[in-house]
Amino acid sequence: MKYMLLMHYTDLGVPEISHWAPEDIKRHIGFMHTFNRELTESGELVDAQGLAGPDRARVVRATPEGPPAVTDGPFPETKELLAGFWVVDCADEARAVEIAARASTAPGPDNVPLNMPIEVRQIMAGPPEDL
């Protein structure tokens, strides 16, 4: 079963990563590399990516008049944003939750676990094409 694990950055009582000390950033990124390597070795990792901040995001809507409408929001306050994701293919929801719990422990400043919220969503299969 495939699941998307969404890493939410919220006001965790720590500054945004761009304000962390270089050694804290290195430790955090090292954790992510190790975590992704372990999921790759177990055969569970489909994809994992960090996302640009909301200042780089765009909302696109089709319009009946011609070109699409492109706006830079609305988005939640910057203290709440989608920071990245993993797509995992694992046995069941219990395993997806276990993986998400581990991701949540990524270290922040002074090597303190962030305990960031990780949303777990099953990826649903679409209907057959001949429907």
Coil, strand or helix at 55: helix
With beta carbons less than 8 A apart as the criterion, state whether 2 and 122 touch.
yes
Res. 15: pLDDT tops 90 = no
pTM assigned to the model: 0.84
Distance from C-alpha of 118 to C-alpha of 7, rounded to nearest angstrom:
5
29 or 52: which leads in pLDDT = 29
Half-sphere exposure of 93 (CA within 13 A, CB side): 6
In degrees, rounded to 5, the angle at the alpha carbon of residue 99 between the alpha carbons of residues 91 and 44 is 50
Task: Report residue 46 as tokens.
Answer: 């489909």
- pLDDT grade, residue 77 (50/70/90)? low
Distance from C-alpha of 25 to C-alpha of 67, rounded to nearest angstrom:
41
- pLDDT grade, residue 63 (50/70/90)? very high
Question: Mean pLDDT of all residues in the chain?
Answer: 90
Distance from C-alpha of 11 to C-alpha of 43, rounded to nearest angstrom:
33
Task: Report residue 61 as tokens.
Answer: 């809507």
